[in-house]
Each structure stands twice: as structure tokens, then as C-alpha cells.
Amino acid sequence: MSKSRNSAFAALLAAGLVAGPALAEPLGIGREALPEEIAAWDVAVLPDGTGLREGSGDVETGDELFAEHCASCHGDFAEGLDSWPSLAGGAGSLNDPRPVKTIGSYWPYLSTVYDYVHRSMPFGNAQVLSVDDTYAITAFLLYSNGLVEDDFVLTHENFTDIAMPNAEGFYPDDRPETEYVQFSTEPCMTDCIPGAPEITKRAAELKVTPTEEDGTPAGTLPVISAAADAG
């Protein structure tokens, strides 16, 4: 421990900046973040509403904003165009062979909708939506998913009243109990499966892998015994 580290730590203690038992001793590197800087970068919204800012927006305004900023990819009704993500629909499909996972059918929290749209959409032009814009678009997405009426107004005050349909649809990783126990037994080494292997699936039949001109999978190693590419 150098003297300078000790003195830096002592200075922090003296200034009352280190509360309680410190985990390790600071080096005095970096400078304090200003409120404006934190406000600019910490825009995360947590499920309990932490991080929401004052504002509001209604479905109709959201519909207009969606048409302007979002519908070219996600469709007029948030149903998704081409292969762009569907934001609405798919309710009750989560046990289907091909589930449709959308905000309405799958997402657990409305906070994530607000937060993600505000920070990362529109795709290719993110962080252009105001707080009120984002409330309005979030209201429109609730409406598109059949979760509110068309006169609904979403605000920072009623935000956490909204319960998403799949709020209870998730549970923390349980592999230690459901898989690790089963998979951690001494494995068979000899005569483990009777009979000869029978092929049930062949990727070659799907023909969806990029290929070289000769039809082999892209990146196939060149034939060493053939003449090298003069390049």
C-alpha cells in the first residue's frame, strides 16, 4: 500500500464521501459525475418504475408517431412487415410449435418497452424520441396488443398500474436443479446404444448454407494436392 493511496483514501474519508465500511481503498482516479451527465446517460427504467420521468402520451398521438417513425418496419398496427419484428399479436401462442413472441404475448414488463424504445429505436436513428413521444408510442403499443382502449393516456403516474399478460411467465435459471444433477453422472463408455446409427436429419437436404461455386459449404478447405491459386 503506497502512501499516496492511503492519503487519497484518508481525504475521501475526511470529506465524508465514503460511507460505511469500504470494500477496497480507492485510488483517487476519475472525477465525480455531474447530475446533467447522469441524467443524459442513465435513462434505464426498472420494472417498479424507477427511472421514469414526468410526462404523458395518449394512444392517438402514439399512432401518429408510430406511423411516422416505426410503421415502415413494424407495420401500421405493430404487426411487423416482412421479417421485421412483430410487436403485437401471438397471444396464447407460447406453447405452439412456432410461438409468436411479442410485447403482448411474451414481454413481462412495460418498463422494458418504454426504456428500449426511448434509447434504441427507431433502428438506425435512435434517441430522437422525447419522453412524451415515448409515453405515447408505449400507449399505442398497449392498444395494438389489445391491452387498453383507444382513449388511454399513459403517464408516469399510472405507468406501473399496467400489468403485462406474461408478467408471470419467467423464472430464474433452474439448470442446477433440473439439468446439472441429471447430466453429472458417470457416462457410458462401451456398448451404450444398441444397433447401428440411423440418420434422422441431414443438413445437406435443406441446402440453406452458403456455398462455394463447386457446391461445397462456404469456406471449405482447399484441396492441398491441387495446384495452388496463383493469386
Return the residues of window 167-206 that contact another protein according to CB under 8 A.
169-175, 178-180, 182-185, 187-193, 197-204, 206
Q: Which is nearer to another protein, 3 or 149 (CB)?
A: 3
Q: Does 149 bind another protein (CB under 8 A)?
A: no
Instruction: Give the separation between CA 159 and CA 165, rounded to whole angstroms.
Output: 15
Q: Does 157 bind another protein (CB under 8 A)?
A: no
Segment 106 to 125, residues that bind another protein, using CB under 8 A: 106-109, 111-112, 115-116, 119-120, 123-124
Who's near 119: CB < 8 A, 6+ residues apart?
43, 126, 127
Q: Which is nearer to another protein, 14 or 197 (CB)?
A: 197
Provide the residue type at 62 as one letter: G
Q: Which of 4, 10, 11, 44 binds another protein (CB under 8 A)?
A: 44
Q: Which is nearer to another protein, 3 or 190 (CB)?
A: 190
Instruction: Give the separation between CA 147 and CA 190, rounded to whole angstroms.
Output: 57
Cβ 60 vs Cβ 153: under 8 Å? no
Q: Does 25 bind another protein (CB under 8 A)?
A: yes
Q: Which of 10, 46, 67, 163 binds another protein (CB under 8 A)?
A: 46
Cβ 54 vs Cβ 39: under 8 Å? no
Helix (H) or strand (E) holding 56: strand 56-58
